[in-house]
Amino acid sequence: MENQDSILLPRIGEAAPEFKAVTTQGPISFPSDYAGKWVILFSHPADFTPVCTSEFMTFASMEDDFRSFNCELVGLSVDGLYSHIAWLRTIKEKIVYKGMKEVEVKFPLIEDITMEVAKKYGMIQPGESNTKAVRAVFFIDPKGIIRAMIYYPLSLGRNFDELKRVIIALQAADSFGVAMPADWRPGDAVIVPPAGSCGVAKDRMEAKEEGMKCYDWFFCTKELSEEKVMNAIKAK
């Protein structure tokens, strides 16, 4: 029998669960309001807490950067709307942190007092907390499909270089029909997907296209310049 405490976790490759919610920027219908755009949907444990404040200031200061990759930000916590508004006002009016000041959070922050949305997205993980969302990050593509997700505990703030790297890598993988190796960054060689048969793969070892390097029949890379990557994904 299924454990009553078991939590639903959305899965990569599935449609992002739908919901309607109230946010600091007005009501939203998710993911339909974001059709045609990438979205980073993320949760934080609580307003007026230090790690979350450092993260929100960083998200807000990178919003234009994400938007240049056709990517919108949407935050969520199980706090109410008035708490969200008061916290964001405090951030703007009072907090100076790592050179960031007067930071205005312009992206929507969802109020989820009932935890309805947080539960749909597996953001409440009782081993960590029954009353707060963990730091979840969902990368959702323009068709509303979950393409990647990362979960962090309450005690660890997210790595924003990694969040940006994931958005760029997913878009570049789609644009060029390739995969990205460990620690890939724009400008690094990319993985050429293995061919379907050994015969083809053997040919591939021998007749390589320019910029292609094979380490074995199943492991070939090719050069892909940062300029090509950026031109392809910034144009969208």
Q: Return the active site residues.
A: 52
Q: Taking CB under 6 A as the rule, does residue 46 contact ligand BEZ?
A: yes
Number of residues binding to ligand BEZ, judged by CB under 6 A: 9
To ligand BEZ, the closest distance from the beta carbon of 131 in angstroms equals: 10
Choose, by CB under 6 A, the member of 51, 86, 148, 201 that binds ligand BEZ.
Answer: 51
Q: Taking CB under 6 A as the rule, does residue 83 contact ligand BEZ?
A: no
* Interaction pattern, residues 146-175, with ligand BEZ; x per rule: CB under 6 A: --------xx--------------------
Q: Taking CB under 6 A as the rule, does residue 133 contact ligand BEZ?
A: no
Q: Which is nearer to ligand BEZ, 24 or 129 (CB)?
A: 129
Instruction: Please provide the DSSP assignment of 125-162 as one string.
Output: -TTT-SSS--EEEEEE-TTSBEEEEEEE-TT----HHH
Q: Taking CB under 6 A as the rule, does residue 49 contact ligand BEZ?
A: yes
Burial of 117 (0-12, 13-18, 19+ CB in 10 A): buried
Choose, by CB under 6 A, the member of 17, 31, 45, 144 that binds ligand BEZ.
Answer: 45
Residue 235 and residue 224: Cα distance in Å, rounded?
Answer: 17
Residue 137 and residue 156: Cα distance in Å, rounded?
Answer: 13
Q: Which is nearer to ligand BEZ, 88 or 154 (CB)?
A: 154
Give residues with Cβ within 8 angstroms of 64, minimum separation 6. Answer: none
Neighbours of 24 (CB within 10 A): 17
* Binding region for ligand BEZ (CB under 6 A) out of 19-27, 41-49, 93-101, 224-232: 41-49
The interface with ligand BEZ within residues 193-212 (CB under 6 A) comprises none
Given a contact cutoff of 8 angstroms between Cβ atoms, the answer to whether 160 and 56 are in contact is no
Q: Which is nearer to ligand BEZ, 154 or 169 (CB)?
A: 154
Q: Which is nearer to ligand BEZ, 31 or 45 (CB)?
A: 45
Element (DSSP H or E) covering residue 38:
strand 38-43
Q: Which is nearer to ligand BEZ, 46 or 85 (CB)?
A: 46
Given a contact cutoff of 8 angstroms between Cβ atoms, the answer to whether 178 and 191 are in contact is yes
Residue 131 amino acid letter: T
- The first and second tokens of residue 146, run together, are 């979950």
Instruction: Point out which residues bind ligand BEZ (CB under 6 A).
Output: 45-46, 49-52, 132, 154-155
